[in-house]
Amino acid sequence: MEITGSTVLLQPGMYILRHPKQGMAPLSIARAPGTPGEGKMETLGTAGTHHALLRDGSDCIVVHISEGPVSLLVTAFLAQQGDPVPALRVDQIGLDRPSSPTSATSATPAAARTLAPRAVPAPAPAPAPAGIEVGLHGITLIGHVERHGDVVAAPGQPLGDPDSPLRLEGFQVVWPDRPDGVDLAYNIVVEGGGALPMVKSGKFCGTRGEARRIIAVTFALIGPCASQWRLDGTAYFSGGFQVPLQSAVPLSGPSGLEHLTAVTLSARLDEQAGAQRNPWQESASTKVFKTGATAQQLVS
């Protein structure tokens, strides 16, 4: 697979984004990284787009840009080198300027229904729970979800909504009955901010209310007994992408720019895993692991 991308600058307004035609590579739509201080972007897509993926001519995404221009990163996923790169179709929706109060009151009810765009209120943020209850067994996830605030996921349940484009902006792993000799370490990569420090279970990793996108996440079993345990779960990213969890392996979408929307996580005893070398096993020395240009450091 070959991945190629380009950027499109959209001024404030309403736009319809379309795939050019059937039989060509899918297009991923996301806010371009490294462009702080730009406007706000709201999206609404047809079924299956997850507000971020155009697969063919039957898909479209409606984009509302406000409070300043926004740069979009358009990524094509080509099956093989040399395949034609589809060109994103961008159609701006022409809207009349708001009428004055005098002219608005003179319009008949029927004309008002025909000409005036229907106001759709934005979803109200759900109130944060007054108190978060954590069970005594298994791994509970507590996180901050865009528009919903702090939420909790019981053992085995997803934190966030895998079918929603809303960002999971940070999380905390709670493991009340964690056995001696094993622990969970985790960190994230934030778009435009790089990797955040590695933390262990019980610590929060991420942001709250800053509209920061998590584009990569890593979970790792550590400790002298870590080889006896196995991680299970899935990381979900915008565009409908999902990646199974593996200890000490960074997880991200195919382009590395899709944002985290949900995660499931559990740990179970696995005697057969004892023969596998765990690169994150704690020791008395400092170890540095590199993934691409990012280096994470974990000190016992």
The domain that contains 80 carries what CATH number? 2.60.120
**Is residue 199 included in any domain, yes or no?**
yes
Residue-range definition of the domain harbouring residue 54: 2-93
**Is residue 148 included in any domain, yes or no?**
yes
* Element (DSSP H or E) covering residue 214: strand 214-222
Q: Quote the pTM value.
A: 0.50
Spatial neighbors of 250 by CB under 8 A, at least 6 apart, are 189, 216, 217, 218, 291, 294
d(CA 220, CA 237): 19
CA distances from 210 to 145, 163, 197, 207 (A): 11, 22, 18, 6
Q: Are residues 181 and 273 in the same domain?
A: yes
**Is residue 112 included in any domain, yes or no?**
no
Q: What 3-state class would DSSP assign to 200?
A: strand
End-to-end CA distance of the chain: 40
Phi–psi pair at 103, nearest 5 degrees? -70, -30
pLDDT tens, per residue, the chain with 300 residues:
567 777 788 888 888 888 887 777 888 888 877 665 578 888 888 887 777 888 888 888 888 888 888 888 888 777 777 778 878 888 888 776 655 444 333 333 333 333 333 444 444 444 444 455 666 788 999 999 988 888 999 998 999 999 999 999 999 999 989 999 999 999 999 988 888 888 999 999 998 878 889 999 999 999 999 989 999 999 999 999 999 998 889 999 998 889 999 999 999 988 665 444 454 444 444 444 444 444 444 443
**Is residue 126 included in any domain, yes or no?**
no
Q: Are residues 80 and 149 in the same domain?
A: no
Q: Are residues 27 and 83 in the same domain?
A: yes
Q: How many domains does the chain have?
A: 2
**Is residue 118 included in any domain, yes or no?**
no
For residue 84 the two structure tokens come to 């034609």
Q: What 3-state class would DSSP assign to 140?
A: strand
Place of tokens 């528009």: 147
